[in-house]
């Protein structure tokens, strides 16, 4: 029998509902239960694929090609359960599907309304693909009281009645702020938030109270009294030194015990040794390296959330601390002195994915610096394309090398991909088509050269990685690039699409068309990130 845990948030946004859902999922797993975690996003976009990283943070891509909220990255990293298209829904997708059905006449002339049609669609999403799963954790984005989240809250209220109270638990995250002038924590925002949620028909069973200092027992008792929950269900949530410490903190405060108590379930204590080992590696590292990430969205680290975590995982694999220096690629355009000043002290250079021309010359300059100075280099998606353009210009003699993404060019070393093979068959795209959902998305296989560096890193010649891109390196330039020392060491199985390039004469110079950061886990670091950080560690000992 599948049980449901509904996670909502109140008072303000950014209280960590995603980390709560991921941590609770990990703790339930550690007790022997199976879990899936789902995200309800109230915005009208069909998915975040066309949203600016400054608006939404990174777009997380699943194996089946869904462009989803970055919280799904937390879910996967903490539980190891691969997300699916069916694990993220938006208001936009729900309304699109309902309007499509209405135009077809599926509603047989009925008046289409928020209740029951929209709420039924939300419930269908929550109840789909649950066979064999013990717990489904559903996180509702936004803040209780927001007008756009009301249909989701109403759907959860209906689900609690449909399934029965013994199969549903409501966990509500609130803020308990410290008021410096008064010299005390204030519980009133939590009381108001719970009152708001209760007025919508949902009485929370467990409260997670975010605060920046310990929550006194008297305050816990006060919250419990006014919010109609047991004191044991008022869980303090203080800032942690690492997100990977959060499951341990929540378990110590009794979160998983409180949830299981509401369900009336007795279970063995969780085996949290996995998280204890991770924190031991973070707290007792054996060295440090500094990685320069040269990108265009560095003003918002959430734009590179999975990338940041994958670098941390690479550090865990090598038991060293990774310091990340976020560098704006635009600052390096035409200023070699500033480029050298910023990159001289780093032990590895990473150019991540992205879209658009802004900052591209700075990225190319960073690639050149890494190649000439023998600094470990890792290019991801657009970063690989910039590495190929740099190689074409400076080692293959193609001075006008560029990409059609930035406009017309006589030397399109990188160009729009118009067709490719997938599990669905031949996929085709037009230059003037829609932007949303039209890239090469999801997991695709690749074949590696048997004597390549990447084959030795992976320990195999057959891999599968997740993609999100619209442009590809042009294979017509392969011979020229390889004569310049940039080897195509991985391709699609049919040999038509370049997947990986590397420089055999360089200590560590690898570019990949896919996004390996999406498959890295703290307890199972991606081999490319482990290898890159290992190379950076060697570099640190040479400086």
Using one digit for the tens of pLDDT, what is the confidence trace for 347-382? Answer: 999 999 888 778 888 999 999 999 999 999 999 999
Distance CA 88, CA 38 (A): 6
Both 298 and 389 in a single domain? Answer: yes
- Mapping DSSP to helix (H, G, I), strand (E, B) and coil, where does residue 397 land? coil
526 inside domain: yes
Which of the residues in the chain have pLDDT under 70? Answer: 335, 418-438, 542-543
Taking the chain, what is the end-to-end CA distance rounded to the nearest angstrom? 59
Got the DSSP string for 399-413?
TTEEEGGGS--SEEE
Number of domains in the chain: 2
Both 303 and 215 in a single domain? Answer: no
Distance CA 380, CA 528 (A): 11
Indicate the Cα dihedral angle 499, 504, 506, 510, nearest 10°.
Answer: 10
Both 69 and 164 in a single domain? Answer: yes
pTM (two decimals): 0.92
Q: Which residues are catalytic?
A: 381, 515, 517
What residues are paired with 291 via a beta bridge? Answer: 324, 348
pLDDT at 467: 94
The CATH number of the domain where 269 resides is what?
3.40.50.300
Point out the domain boundary residue: 252, 277, 302. Answer: 277
Say if strands 509-512 and 498-502 run parallel, antiparallel, or are unpaired: antiparallel
Both 88 and 210 in a single domain? Answer: yes
461 inside domain: no
- Residues whose CB falls within 8 Å of the CB of residue 411, separated by 6 or more in sequence, listed in order: 392, 398, 400, 401, 402
> What domain range includes position 114?
3-277
Both 244 and 296 in a single domain? Answer: no
Both 171 and 63 in a single domain? Answer: yes
Point out the domain boundary residue: 224, 255, 277. Answer: 277
**Cβ–Cβ under 8 Å, residues 394 and 362:** no
Cα–Cα distances (Å) from 295 to 17, 87, 312, 327, 450, in that order, read 28, 29, 18, 6, 32
**Cβ–Cβ under 8 Å, residues 49 and 67:** yes
Q: What is the DSSP letter of 230?
A: -
């Amino acid at each position: 029998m599948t049980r449901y845990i509904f996670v909502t948030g109140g008072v303000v946004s950014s209280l960590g509902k995603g980390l709560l859902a991921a941590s609770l999922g990990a703790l339930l797993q550690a007790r022997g239960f199976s879990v899936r975690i789902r995200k309800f996003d109230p915005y009208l976009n069909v998915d975040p694929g066309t949203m600016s990283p400054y608006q939404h943070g990174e777009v997380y891509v699943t194996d089946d090609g869904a462009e989803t909220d970055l919280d799904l990255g937390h879910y996967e990293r903490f539980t190891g359960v691969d997300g699916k298209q069916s694990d993220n829904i938006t208001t936009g997708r729900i309304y699109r599907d309902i309007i499509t059905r209405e135009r077809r006449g599926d509603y047989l002339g009925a008046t289409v309304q928020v209740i029951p049609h929209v709420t039924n669609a939300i419930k269908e999403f929550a109840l789909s693909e649950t066979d064999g799963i013990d717990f489904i954790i559903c996180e509702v984005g936004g803040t209780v009281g927001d007008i756009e989240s009301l249909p989701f809250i109403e759907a959860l209220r209906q689900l609690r009645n449909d399934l029965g109270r013994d199969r549903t638990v409501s966990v509500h995250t609130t803020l308990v702020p410290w008021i410096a002038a008064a010299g005390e924590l204030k519980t009133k925002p939590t009381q108001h938030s719970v009152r708001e949620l209760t007025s919508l028909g949902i009485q929370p069973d467990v409260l997670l109270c975010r605060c920046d200092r310990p929550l006194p027992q008297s305050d816990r008792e006060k919250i419990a009294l006014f919010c109609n929950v047991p004191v044991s269900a008022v869980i303090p949530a203080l800032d942690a030194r690492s997100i990977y410490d959060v499951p341990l903190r929540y378990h110590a405060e009794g979160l998983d015990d409180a949830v299981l108590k509401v369900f009336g379930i007795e279970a063995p204590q969780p085996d949290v040794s996995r998280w204890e080992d991770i924190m031991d590696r973070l707290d007792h590292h054996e060295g440090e390296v500094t990685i320069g990430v040269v990108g265009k969205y560095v003003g918002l680290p959430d734009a590179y959330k999975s990338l940041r975590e994958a670098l941390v995982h690479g550090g865990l694999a090598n038991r060293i601390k990774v310091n990340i220096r976020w560098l704006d690629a635009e600052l390096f355009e035409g200023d070699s002195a500033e480029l050298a000043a910023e990159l001289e002290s780093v032990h590895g250079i990473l150019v991540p994915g992205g879209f658009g021309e802004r900052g591209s010359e700075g990225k190319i300059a960073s690639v050149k610096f890494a190649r000439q100075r023998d600094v470990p280099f890792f290019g991801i998606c657009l970063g690989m394309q910039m590495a190929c353009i740099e190689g074409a210009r400076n080692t293959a003699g193609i001075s006008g090398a560029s990409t059609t993404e930035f406009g017309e060019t006589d030397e399109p070393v990188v160009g729009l991909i118009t067709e490719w093979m997938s599990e669905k068959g031949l996929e085709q795209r037009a230059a003037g088509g829609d932007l949303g959902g039209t890239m090469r998305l999801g997991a695709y296989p690749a074949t590696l050269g048997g004597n390549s560096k990447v084959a030795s890193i992976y320990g195999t010649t057959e891999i599968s990685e997740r993609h999100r891109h619209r442009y590809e390196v042009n294979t017509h330039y392969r011979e020229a690039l390889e004569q310049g020392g940039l080897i195509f060491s991985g391709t699609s199985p049919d040999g038509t699409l370049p997947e990986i390039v590397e420089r055999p004469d360089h200590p560590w110079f690898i570019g990949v068309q896919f996004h390996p950061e999406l498959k890295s886990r703290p307890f199972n670091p991606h081999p490319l990130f482990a290898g890159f950080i290992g190379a950076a560690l060697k570099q640190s000992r040479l400086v």
